[in-house]
Chain A
């Protein structure tokens, strides 16, 4: 485990998380959420949880994001907050 990398990714995770709920565009939020999931997946891979990381990569960063995008596509991108 390289702690500098670890710390960097942890910070990025938090940034992506905050970004996902702050950005005023739902599509952007969805993509940021995908990035968040991907960071998370990296983090877990670093921590040795390869199976979990694998799952998160395919589910969190992959399928979840697609779900989000299709939901946003069928509703609206507009948001007030």
Chain B
């Protein structure tokens, strides 16, 4: 019991990202409204980003901007003092990708609306089946 509790507390960031990911996935698959699906898609993407950012965290470390950079006194930089910057870099890219996908998805959703005058998937499919 204690082990499980410790597992839960020790990795609560990871549990949250899984929860969010499941919310997003569920919204994409089960929701009927196209915009809702797009929201779900974005939640899915942010969940992955949350996961990556969580990897980078280091106990007792600070933001990866090296202090006293140009004050002349050059002392050795220890990696353990700074948070892992690599996931941050990756996630900057991922955020950009997600906003790009969002833009395109919304545009296409609008195109769909213009054609079928509804955003509900079942109504659209009904229209396609019986023109």
Contacts and interface: CB of A to CB of B under 8 A. Distances in A.
Contacts of A21: 23, 26-27, 31, 36, 39-40, 43
B119 A63 contact: no
A63 B54 contact: no
Contact of A68 (B35, B54, B87): B35
B125 interface: no
A29 interface: yes
Nearest to B89: A51
A74 to B, nearest CB: 6
B109 interface: yes
Interface string B34-60: 011001101100100110011011000
B7 interface: no
Nearest to A53: B53
Interface of B: 12-13, 16, 19-20, 23-24, 26-27, 31-33, 35-36, 39-40, 42-43, 46, 49-50, 53-54, 56-57, 61-65, 83, 87-88, 91-92, 95-96, 99, 102-103, 106-107, 109-110, 113, 118-120
Interface of A: 7, 10, 13-14, 17-18, 20-21, 26, 29-30, 33, 36-37, 40, 43-44, 47-52, 55-56, 59-60, 63-64, 67-68, 71-72, 74-76, 79-81
